[in-house]
Amino acid sequence: MPVNREKEAPPRPGLDGDPAVTERDRPVGAGPDRIWAPWRIVYFTEPRPDACVFCTLPAEEELTEEDTLILARFEHTYVVMNKYPYNAGHLMVVPFQHTDDLDQLSADVHCEMFRAAAVCQAVIREALNAQGFNIGLNLGKAAGAGILEHLHLHVVPRWMGDTNFMPVIMDTKVLSEDLVGTYRRLRPGFDRRTRK
């Protein structure tokens, strides 16, 4: 008969030995599994502007480019950091034209969106050593669009192992750097590639 050499995990208070309690039922704050991301509360509590944020952001005259997180401007589009990113370096290519429908954009805007995405990819790869990318659009609420009225192209850098237990089990993403720090690492690459 084979011998099982695996050690049993030690009992967990309030879980092991209590068949009525599961990991899912674990009370909040019951131990070291607490994760704080206080900057996220702004997403849920700040008032939603009446005007489209993607229309007002590039027209903002009182804020610096760093304050707005805009990294580059092209003829028909601009590149901005996602204020609530999936990963560090999550950028968006936004057309100046206000629309939620790809069919409403001209061929020139379509082309420029993907040229800008290619610049984003090159800059992120160089500055952040990204190993892969997810690039795409979320059109409509059913597709996961956070801002429904103004389409935008997401450029999300990826690294091997960046999908770990945190987002899968805890529905929490850990970012290794604040937005301004990432902005300052990315901006020189955009300046070099978009200088006229």
Q: What are the catalytic residues?
A: 152
* CA angle centred on 128, ends 160 and 79, rounded to 5°: 115
Widest distance between CA atoms in the chain: 77
**Residue 124 φ then ψ, to 5°:** -65, -45
HEC per residue, 122-175: HHHHHHHCCCEEEEEECCCHHHCCCCCCCCCEEEEEECCCCCCHHHHHHCCCCC
Strand 77-81 with 70-73, pairing: antiparallel
Structure-block tokens of residue 162: 């960046």
* DSSP secondary structure, 82-136, as one string: -SS-SSTT-EEEEESS--S-GGGS-HHHHHHHHHHHHHHHHHHHHHH---EEEEE
CA distances from 72 to 30, 81, 112 (A): 45, 10, 12
Q: Give strand pairing partners of 70.
A: 80
